[in-house]
Structure 1
C-alpha cells in the first residue's frame, strides 16, 4: 500500500484510505474520544491483520494520558492466501477495527506494570491470548458492533481458501458467532 495520506484529527491519526471505516468504528466508542490513537500501516504483523498496543513512551503515564497504536498489516498472508485492506469488505474491516478498539478499552483499565505483565502473558500463554481476544470481542459487541464482529467472523470462517488450521485458531481464541449472537440478544 503506497498511500501515505493521513487524516489528523484532534488526537487521532488515520490513513485516508480507511478513514470512513475507522470513523464508523470509533463512533461506537465514545469513551475513546479523548484518547490519542494512531492507526498505522505496517509491512507485516505476524499471525494477525491488526494489532493494538500502547505507545511505549506513554506506558507509565496516568491511564487517561496514554496513547495507542493500531497497526494494520499492509498485506495479510495466511498460508497461500494474501489480502490487502482494499480486498476486505467494508463491514469486515469495521469489525476488525472495532475488535482492536476493544483491546484499547481493556488496556485503559490497566496500570503500566500490569500492561507489561499482560504483554508477557500474551506472548507466552495461549490461554491468556484466548482471554484477551474474547475480551476484545466482548467490548466490541457491548459497544453495538455485533453485526460487524459477526461479519468479520463470517469472512474468516467461511472463506474457502483459508486453511482449517487458521480457522481452527480463530475458533479456539475468539468468540464464536453463536456466542456473539447470544451477547447481542442479551443487550436487546
Structure 2
C-alpha cells in the first residue's frame, strides 16, 4: 500500500479515535458518580486484577511474536489484549457502580508508594487509550512504519497500566 493510500485510510479513523479517547474516560468518570443498589453475585476485584495480569502476559507474548516475525500471531494477541482491556473496564465500572470504594489502610512510606502507583496507573490508563487506538489503526491500514514508531510508545505504556493494575489490587486487597 502506498503512503498516500495508508494516510487516507488512517484519517478515516481519526475522528473515531478522538471521540473514543475523550468519551471513554468521561463515561467512566460519570458512571463512577452513579451508584446502583445491587449486589454483584461475585467479587470482581480479583477477577479484573487477573484480567490485567493476563493482559500483561498477552502483551509480552505479542511483543515476542512480532520480534520473531509471526505477524498473524501478533495481530491475534493484540486483538485479544484489546478485548481483555475492554472486559476489564466493564467489570471495573460495574464493581464501582455497585460498591463503595475501598480506602488504602497502609501508612508511611508504603502509602506514598501505593498512591504513586495508583495515580500513575490512573493517569496512564487514560493517556494510553489514544495510543492503543492509533497504533491499531495504523496496523489495520497497513501503515506499518508509523505503526512501529508509535508501538514503541504504546507497548510500555499499556504494559505499565496492566502490571500496575495488578500491583494496586495486591496492595489494597487486605483492606477489602
TM-score by length of 1: 0.27
Higher RCO (Cα < 8 Å, 6 or more apart): 2
Q: Find the structure with the greater CA-based Rg.
A: 2
Higher helix share: 2
TM-score by length of 2: 0.28
